[in-house]
Amino acid sequence: MEVELDFSPPLGLIYYASGNPIIINKEEGLGYRRFPHPIVHLVRILNVDTHLKKYNLTKKSLLKYGYNTSKILDLIQNSLKKTKVVESKLRIVDINRFDERIEIFWDKIKDDYSFITEKSRKYLNWRYSDPRGGKYIIKEAEEDGAIIGYVVLRVNNYVSDYHTGFIVDLNTLWDHPDCADALIAESLRFFDETKINIVNYCIVKGHPYEKQFKKFGLVNSRNDIYVAYRSGSDVPELEDFKYSTPGKMLFQYGDIDWI
């Protein structure tokens, strides 16, 4: 399914995400190009045996997730214990809808990226607050009354007795490095309290968020998400996008309609 959205700057891009090699080969023949950097799938599984039993898997099948030895599991557990969120004046609150302050936040971050989908109040409320689109959990980070970041979560209950957690959308101001850590920690706390065994996140490989998530025990599943694009117009900003560094591209689950 193609999704056409307005970007800032407006690149006029049409993009899709897929894991089907037949579709990928077909679309590449129609003028689609792969994103400048891979989209990596990060995962945290608290109880590997539970996961294996649920999907009738063997430990060998989890090699790609980096959970193949107890040593790796110990490293993950230790990273969780050692990660500490730096204390600051920020506070995290649960919200149902974004208010007008998110426009100020959006104005501050939109020029930091060569690729980012719209994060205006109208768009975010349409994407995450309309019950027709499903149920999302929104957590907002505030400091001195201003929004400095937010995270959107989702619990997939397609399998009734084994729910799956997704960190759908994370955004923070770059001059508040502790904010991402605080929001990630809060997200994992929520999933732990909700008894979610597996948590998923995707991000551009090499983006600073990738390193921050790994501090909290998420590992690369080695199952990249293939994202391709094409453009109906040749705008100057498109060259910046093609040759941008990972930190200048923000692509997460919220940018596709899977979750």
- Cα angle at 216 between 178 and 163, to 5 degrees? 120
Q: Domains in the chain, start-ordered, CATH in brackets?
A: 42-223 (3.40.630.30)
Q: Measured between alpha carbons, how far is residue 31 from residues 18, 140, 216, 232, 249 in Å?
A: 16, 39, 39, 11, 21
pLDDT digits (tens), the chain, 259 positions: 344 444 443 366 788 887 777 777 776 667 788 899 999 999 999 888 888 888 777 665 665 566 544 444 445 555 555 555 555 689 999 999 999 999 999 999 999 999 999 999 999 999 999 999 899 999 999 999 999 999 999 999 888 889 999 999 999 999 888 999 999 999 999 999 999 999 999 999 999 999 999 999 999 988 888 888 887 666 667 888 888 999 999 999 999 988 8
Q: Cα torsion at 48, 50, 55, 57 (round to 10°)?
A: 50
Q: Which of 214, 188, 194, 187 is nearest to 203 (CA)?
A: 214
C-alpha span between 198 and 166 (Å, rounded): 9
Residue 199 near residue 186, CB atoms below 8 Å: no
